[in-house]
Structure formats: C-alpha cells, structure tokens
Chain A
Amino acid sequence: MPAVSKGDGMRGLAVFISDIRNCKSKEAEIKRINKELANIRSKFKGDKALDGYSKKKYVCKLLFIFLLGHDIDFGHMEAVNLLSSNKYTEKQIGYLFISVLVNSNSELIRLINNAIKNDLASRNPTFMCLALHCIANVGSREMAEAFASEIPRILVAGDTMDSVKQSAALCLLRLYKTSPDLVPMGEWTSRVVHLLNDQHMGVVTAAVSLIACLCKKNPDDFKTCVSLAVSRLSRIVSSASTDLQDYTYYFVPAPWLSVKLLRLLQCYPPPEDAAVKGRLVECLETILNKAQEPPKSKKVQHSNAKNAILFEAISLIIHYDSEPNLLVRACNQLGQFLQHRETNLRYLALESMCTLASSEFSHEAVKTHIETVINALKTERDVSVRQRAADLLYAMCDRTNAKQIVSEMLSYLETADYSIREEIVLKVAILAEKYAVDYSWYVDTILNLIRIAGDYVSEEVWYRVIQIVINRDDVQGYAAKTVFEALQAPACHENMVKVGGYILGEFGNLIAGDPRSSPLVQFNLLHSKFHLCSVSTRALLLSTYIKFINLFPETKGTIQEVLRSDSQIRNADVELQQRAVEYLKLSSIASTDVLATVLEEMPPFPERESSILAKLKKKKGPGAGSELDDGKKDPNSEINGGMEPSASTASTPSPSADLLGLRAAPVATSSAPATAGNLLVDVFSDSPSATTGLVPGAEENFLSSGAAASVSEDPALPIAEADELLNKFVCKNNGVLFENQLLQIGVKSEFRQNLGRMYLFYGNKTSVQFQSFTPTVSYPGDLQSQLNIQTKTVEPLVEGGAQVQQVLNIECLSDFTEAPLINIKFRYGGTLQNLTLKLPITVNKFFQATEMQSQDFFQRWKQLSLPQQEAQKIFKANHAMDSEVTKAKLLGFGSALLEKVDPNPDNYVGAGIIQTKALQVGCLLRLEPNAQAQMYRLTLRTSKESVSKHLCELLSQQF
C-alpha cells in the first residue's frame, strides 16, 4: 500500500492544514482561514491562468475549509472547470467539490451536466463512475431531465463494466426518488430484476437497493424479484464461507448483501409458490441454526456480522407472521440474547421481541422471558435499554401476568429516569385498566401511581379512575375507604386530594357508618388539605362540600360556616368566590328535595376509548415536537370528553395539548353554574382566566404603539424591525441597537432599583455632516404615567465619521408593558431622514435578584397560585438548547438563578423583585426545557397579572 508521503502530495495544502492544526485559538484559526480565502480569491481572480494542479490544490483547500464549518461562496466555477480536465485526480476533486457543496438548484447545473455528458460518452469506466456518482449525489431535476433515459440503458447494457453498473443503479435510484415522473418503467425493468442473478456481488448489492425502492410503488412489475432474491440468498447462506472470497467478512459470507436481500423480501407477503417458500424457510432455518453453532472466529466482528443477518431474518419471520415454528425459534434465540454480555445485543433483542410479542403464535413464548426482562428493567445501566425493557413488558402483558408486570413497573417508577416517567405512568394506568378483573386492584394501582409519581400523573389518568369508579358500583365503597385512608398521610399529592375529594363527595356515604370515618371526620380531613391546594383543586373541593351538605345534613352548619368565611366568600379568585356564594345560597334556599335532585349521584359515563390510551399513542409518535403541533389540530382530540356528562356543555380540553403537561386549554367560564349539569362540568374546568387572553402579539403591540405615537404629534411609526431589535436587549444592556448605511446607534445602560441611566451613541457612518439632528423620546399609551425619562439635548450637527452621545435618566414609576419610543430626525444631504425605534427599556430591567432556599421558593410559589397571577407559555426552541447560554440569558433577564430548588436538575427556577416607585412586584419563574421535543415551558408567577403576562411574553422570545 502506498505510504502517505507518496501520491501527488499537494505541499501547499499540507502546509495549510498543519497551520490550522497549530492554531492555538479559534480566533487564530479564523484569521488563518480568512487569509487563505483571500489568497485563493485573488489567485482565482488574477489574470494569470491557473494550471490544473493549482486549481485542484485551491479547490481542495476550499473543501477543507468548508469541512471546518465555514461557508464557501466561491470556487464553484473553478471546480466545474476541473471536470473537463483529462487528469483523473483533477477531475475527481472537481466532482467531489460539486457533490459536497453544490445543491440541486444551483445555476451551474447546466455546465456540470455538460461535463457529465462528456464523461458518460467517454467509455472510460473510471470517468463514467465519477459522473454517475455526481448525479447520484446531486440528483437535481435538471439532471434527471438530461439523463433519466440514458442511465437505464447503461445499467442493463451487456458490455457495461461492473463498477459502472453499480454506480448506474444507485444513480437511477436517486433520479427515481427526486423525479419519478421522468423515470418511465419499461423494457429495462425486467432486466433490472435479473441483476439479482448477476455473478458480481457488488452489482447485486447495488441492484437490491434500487429494486427495493422501485417495487414499493409498482409491486406487481417487480414480483419476480422474490424468487430471484430467495435463490440468491439461498446460495449465499448455504455456501461454504470460502466460496465468496472477498465478499466474506470474518468468515461470514456476504453479510450486508444477505441483510439487504432479507429486507427486500419484507416488501412482499410470503411467497405463494411452494417451492420458493420451501427454499426460503430452509434459508431461515439455516440462519437460525448457524446462531447455535460454535463461532468460526473469536473476533467480535464475526458474531456481529452473523447477528446482523440473524436479526434481519427474524424481522422477516415476524413480517410473515405465519410460521409458528420459526416464530417460536426466533423467540428462543432472542431470549438467549437477553442475557448476552453485549449491550448491543440485549438492546436489539428487546426491541425485536417487542414486535414478536404481538404475534399470536409467539406471544406465549415471549412471556416465558418475563423474569429476564424484569431484571433488565431493574439492572440495565443504559436508559435506552431500560426503555426497551419497559416497552417489552408492556407488549407482553396479558391477564395472566398483569399483576406482576404492573407491580414491577410501579416499583421501577420509584427510581425511574425522569425522561421516561410519564410514559411509564401512562402504561401502568392502561395495563391496570385493561387487565383488571378485580377493580379494587385497579383503584389501588392508580392510587399507588399518584403516591409514587404524582407529578407525572396527568389529568387523563385521574379522570379515568373516577370514570371507572362511577361506572362500577361494586368498587365504590372500596374506593371511598381507600382514598380516605390515603388522605390520612400527612403529605399527599394534590392529585390524591382531587381524586379523594371527588370520590368522597360522591360515595362518602358508603363509609360514613364507621365512626372513624364519620361525615365530619371526612370533611375535616379534606378541609385540612384545602389551603395547600391550587385554585382548581380548591374549586373541586367546594363542590365536594356542597355534595356533603346533601349527603350528610348534619354537616350543613359546619360547611356553611366555612363557605361564609371571608377567605371563601371574599376570595380574590372569582371562580372560588362565585362557587362559595352560590353554594352557600343553594344550601340555605333550596329544600332538601331540590338539593337532592340538583346534587344527585353522577350518572355513569358512556364507554369510550380510554383517553390515556390516546395519549400514549400520541407520545409514541415519531417526533414528539411535531406531534404537539399536529395534536392541536387533531379533530379526534375530543376523546377526553369522557369526564363531562354531556360533551356539549363545555369546550373540551384537548388531551394532546397536554403532551408537555400543559394545563387544559381555556375553558369557557360557565355563566350559570347553578344547574346540576354545569356544576359538575365546572368541577373539572381548569381555572379559566389562567390561560385566556394571552398577551397581545408583538404585531398588535406594534400597531397600538404606532397609533399612540401619532397622537403625540409624531408622524413616524417605529420601523418594522423595532420589536425584534428590542428583543435583543431584553437579556442584555449593551450593544448596537440599530444600524443602517448612514447611522449606527449604540446603547450602554445600567439600572439600579427603580432608576436607570442609558447612554445612546449616535455614530455618523458617512463622510457628510448630519444637520438638525434631533432625537425625541415619546411615550405610547399610558406609558407617560408609568415611566419618566429625562433627556439632554444633543448638538444638532453631527460631523461625518463622528459620534455623539446622549444621556437618558430613567425612573420607573409603576410597571409597564409598552417600550418607550425614540424618534430621530436629521438632514442628510438634502433629504430629511426620519426613524423611530423602541428604546430597550423593558420592565425586567428593574429586576432585583432574590436568592432563596427551596422551601421558601415553593412556599411563595404556592402563595401565588391565583390563576391571574400565573402566566405560562409553551414554545419551540429557536436556538440550540445549551444550558450555559440559557443560564446566562436568565441572569441577564435580571432574576436570581436558584440552584437545587427544582427537583428536576434540567429545569431552571428564578426569583426577583421588580422595583417601581409605586410598588414592588415579587416574581418567580420556572423554565422547563424538553430537549427531546426541542421545546420549553415557561411559567411566571408574580403578584400582578399584567407583569406575569408581560414577563412571560418577553422571556419566551429569548430561547
């Protein structure tokens, strides 16, 4: 083999690469690259014609620079010139550059096509291959138009060299993928199929890829490929490993080709012809047998290659799903792999077994491995393997092993990775429901779920347990007793309070006979949790209380007392206040009969598909991110409606919108909750005002500020990019605010408490004087009363190339949402220039960071639980999700970044106080990234509604 020093060493290139390697810093590297780019540019532009060698050298350098991550915007022409060189090395570099750097819509395609045409006609196989590779890599429509008719001819011609055939096959595949209409089926198709018989294995390898693609669209035209593939496979599988010489890899004959043939067969149902089928079954059996034979080599490559074929054979067996014997053998083989010391094999075996579990023939065989799989769930060190194990347990679950699997999953949940907890919760909930013979087991399981992983139990899950308890009267007493016991725990999850409140409100009477759970004890137990709960839970509990008045008249006095207390009847939350007032009135005016009718036991729910199942299906979608977007438009998202007695009484929160745990979509406030139907709907409606009325979009802001500006006799609207420019400064105080050909405006600012000072630097970029230079600050909307800005006047003349400075003193009187405007007028040449921008002063500039402990944080978080105090947004990441950058942005935003507060280390929490002259607004924030979905959820809680919303809006634009 040639040593590196040999060949056509391009010294210049080697020197350049060494230079780059020796660069100590990124800056030095960039400097060196820019120098080189300038050099190459001048060489290409120079009058001296470059010889092929230099062109090749420079094009090679450009390729290298591109690989380092720099954009290359020249040199394409020189690369195209290299194509017509008759030196192979030069031509090759030209083609390489083009296939790496030219995309399919380049204007150069015509020139490239010309060169390709010449090379295809050259009858020189190496040149032909280069040209075909190029088409296969670029594959534009123009190329398809030029060559689609010619390639099939080259592919099937008798005198074409093998290597050219290989390239032609892949080239045709590309053209067929990009422009199927330009590749007409024809006489060549049957000859393509016969390439499977070609004596050259490389040609077969290439042909299989082509046929696998073509046959998907035209299965009938290519049907003959099945028998040909079977016979080819059979010849490979049964041959002694020496027969195939160079295609043998560590004693395994043609492993990649075997895999591809087995994959091709999966495009078709089992062969009908008995002889073909017999031969195929024989092949599959041989492959399974070989797995049991002692290895021909100790090298891991040998067993890997063998296993690649084995896994593909098993896929085919599962695809056919018709040979019980093979299915069981496949299952046993995978069972062995489950205990293999190679993690890769265990992973693949779990994955493969998961599909095997759904076949009726092998389901029982899969089940015998339950202990191993459970063990994998407990002991595997790799979360992706554990995930596969959980999937498999779910797939192999049936009535006989449900209790075992569910209990194992529950115990796994206590230590499970955060990333898969929610999915496990859903799986447990589904299995418990699906295989429940005895519904007390089901109730126990769900309550355990809430106890162990309450935060991951979504609304669907606890809705569902209530539906089931209401529909099955044999379990109601048990459920009441169990929730009552569960609620005795000093700290129980809010979801437990919800389930407990609902169930006791409906069925508390079933356990009221026992003095230990007398009505008053039940009430006191529930009410002891009341103050720690969120608004929606408290609303639910109020409904429970009125139901208690109906169920247990003896509690009426106590409960009316509670409803009458200031903390209920004068509650700042309208929903709670309304409920308290109405329930109090209802209990004192309505007769016992009326009360009994209004608060009658819930009617059974109509049976529908479990909303949890729907949710799991959604979670399992291909890309969680896109799934979320689709979900919102999904017309089927009404399944969750199971909770409402009649689906039409309220708009239904869509379960899919919950993918990230988002609370339900805004629900219309029911205006008259005094009727029974609505009452109960209300119990489940999310606090309505929390999510309604999002902050008006930037667009609206822009319009309104414009309108206000025109009132204050300022004719100019802020420029279109004003909001975008403003956004850049939300998390930083210094930088360039604006720049065009004439003017650059820099900003430097500092803020302390409710005061701030801003320096604006106006730079004249031209060589001509600006005249009558006047910047004016104006206040759109109510801003005048919220913000006070004092400016010093600037000299009206700004010389060419000079910079003038303006100082602004800022005082924040109260919180605000609009940004102040600055209008700049000046004369440049003869024309009046007029420009309006938003000044980068946003309410978060007056943040004072506050450090606090976890305990304090959560206490305050709970205190700010009124719906209007919270603002939340879920949004897609616009930038890479880098934790350092995120931290820097949050600090720049002004709040303190609190470490070790959130139980999930990926989340960020912050706290601070907005300082204004009139008042101080305490703010808490929480940012939860979801790296998989590339999304964030941002929650702001402050003591003032407008501040929550505005901060949420500002901050959500930053990631």
Chain B
Amino acid sequence: MIKFFLMVNKQGQTRLSRYYEHMDLRKRTILEAEVIKHCLSRSKEQCSFIEYKDFKLVYRQYAALFIVVGINETENEMAVYELIHNFVEVLDKYFSRVSELDIMFKLDRVHIILDEMVLNGCIVETNKTRILAPLLVLDKMAES
C-alpha cells in the first residue's frame, strides 16, 4: 500500500502532500522534514529506495523537486518508481512542460490528477488519457 505521496523542493518546502493514512499535522511536518533531509543527503549513485522507519521511501528527483512516495512491503519498488514518472508525464501533458509554479498555482488540478491515479493508497488508473478525462470536462465547463 502507498502510505503517502509528497512533492518537496530542495529548500524543504512541501508543494503537495497526500496521506492515505491519517497522520496529524505535527507529525506530518516532522516527517516531511526528515524525508527531504534523507533525500538531499544522497548522491546520484545511490539507489532510489530508502528504508525509513516502518516503510520504504521511493524517490525521484526532477530539477529542484523531489517526489517521494512512502510504501509498505506489499508494493513493488520498481513499479512505484515508474508510477512517479508516469505521474510526472501526465502533469507534463496537462500543463505542457510542468514546472514547480504550475504545481503551486494549480494545486487543485494536481490533486485531481493524483486522485485519478492513486486512490486510497492503491494504484487505480495508469492510462494518461483516462486520467486526464475529468479535467478536460472541467476545463471545458469553465470555458463555456
């Protein structure tokens, strides 16, 4: 199961956080700070999986932005690693070359995309067209 999905930049600012198990705000802040510290301290040669407390972190870096996913032992690390990339490609497709600014200013859209892909800690949709379908409906309604 996926426990949480984070986007954090190099300065340690959280840009997106989605928890699939309840965690109170104080713990979240601590966790996010520690997670980014772990990721930043690693070099490119090191592997993308970190054992952290009871779960594993799978992370990828895109420019100054880290995407970190916390999983338990029932997930396949490599599959989650590619899920992150698939998510980024979907963002890229929707925002046409996504940047950190898009994620800040259009946070609701990013949430919609993530919710279409991961629900309740499980991967639910991986097809880009279908992931974006509800958003396109939304944008069409806004234009009309």
Contacts and interface: CB of A to CB of B under 8 A. Distances in A.
Interface of A: 1-4, 6-8, 13-14, 17, 21, 60, 63-64, 67-69, 71, 87-89, 92-93, 96, 100, 103-104, 126, 129, 133, 136-137, 139, 163, 166-167, 170-171, 173-174, 201-202, 205-206, 209, 246-247, 249, 254-257, 259-260, 263, 301, 304-305, 307-308, 311-312, 343-344, 346-348, 381-382, 384-385, 622-623, 880
Contacts of A343: 45-48
Nearest to A248: B127
B47 A347 contact: yes
Nearest to B98: A4
Contacts of A260: 123
B16 A308 contact: no
Nearest to A247: B127
Contacts of A87: 141
B14 to A, nearest CB: 6
A103 B74 contact: no
Interface in B35-67: 42-43, 45-51, 53-54
B139 A173 contact: no
Interface size range on B against A: 35 or more
A623 B111 CA distance: 32
Interface string B52-88: 0110000000000000000000101111011101100
Nearest to A931: B34
Contacts of B85: 301, 304
B122 A209 contact: yes
A923 to B, nearest CB: 32
Most buried by A among B76, B96, B130: B76
9 contacts: A4-B102, A6-B143, A205-B124, A206-B122, A206-B124, A348-B77, A382-B46, A384-B46, A623-B53
A406 to B, nearest CB: 26
A685 to B, nearest CB: 36
B51 to A, nearest CB: 7
Contacts of A255: 79, 82, 126
B108 A246 contact: no
A304 B104 CA distance: 29
Given A344-B78, A382-B46, A64 B107 contact: yes
A92 B81 contact: no
Contact of A880 (B16, B33, B143): B33
The 4 closest A-B CB pairs, nearest first, are: A308-B78, A8-B142, A209-B122, A382-B46
A93 B51 CA distance: 35
Contacts of B30: 880
A308 B126 CA distance: 15
B120 A170 contact: yes
B49 to A, nearest CB: 6
Interface string B6-49: 00000001111110101001001110011000000011011111
A93 B108 CA distance: 7
Contact of B108 (A1, A96, A257): A96
Contacts of B33: 880
A312 B81 contact: no
A202 B125 contact: yes
Contact of B134 (A129, A247, A381): A129
B22 A174 contact: no
Contacts of A202: 124-127, 130
A209 B139 CA distance: 31
Contact of A381 (B43, B77, B81): B43
Given A67-B17, A308-B82, A88 B123 contact: no
Contacts of A308: 76, 78-79, 81-82
Given A64-B107, A205-B123, A246-B128, A256 B49 contact: no
Contact of A385 (B47, B93, B129): B47
A452 B112 CA distance: 56
A14 B138 contact: no
Nearest to A169: B124
Most buried by A among B34, B79, B86, B138: B79
Contact of B120 (A2, A4, A6, A173): A173
Given A7-B139, A89-B138, A308-B78, A67 B95 contact: no
A201 B129 CA distance: 13
A138 to B, nearest CB: 9
A304 B122 contact: no
A376 to B, nearest CB: 12
Given A301-B82, A382-B47, A136 B107 contact: no
B107 A174 contact: no
Contacts of B45: 343, 381-382
A163 B28 CA distance: 31
Contact of A305 (B20, B82, B112, B142): B82
Nearest to B118: A170
B142 A136 contact: no
Contacts of B134: 126, 129, 163
Given A4-B95, A92-B112, A174-B120, A311 B22 contact: no
Nearest to B17: A67
A473 B83 CA distance: 61
Contact of A263 (B13, B51, B74, B105): B74
Contact of A623 (B54, B95, B128): B54
A2 B138 CA distance: 11
Contacts of B125: 166, 202, 205-206
Nearest to B80: A308
Most buried by B among A21, A60, A67, A311: A67
B124 A201 contact: no
Contact of B86 (A64, A249, A623): A249
Most buried by B among A254, A307, A308, A622: A308
B39 to A, nearest CB: 13
B108 A60 contact: yes
Contacts of A129: 134
A209 B2 CA distance: 12
Contact of B78 (A17, A21, A307): A307
B122 A92 contact: no
Nearest to A342: B47
Given A136-B119, A311-B76, A384-B47, A67 B102 contact: no
A385 B109 CA distance: 38
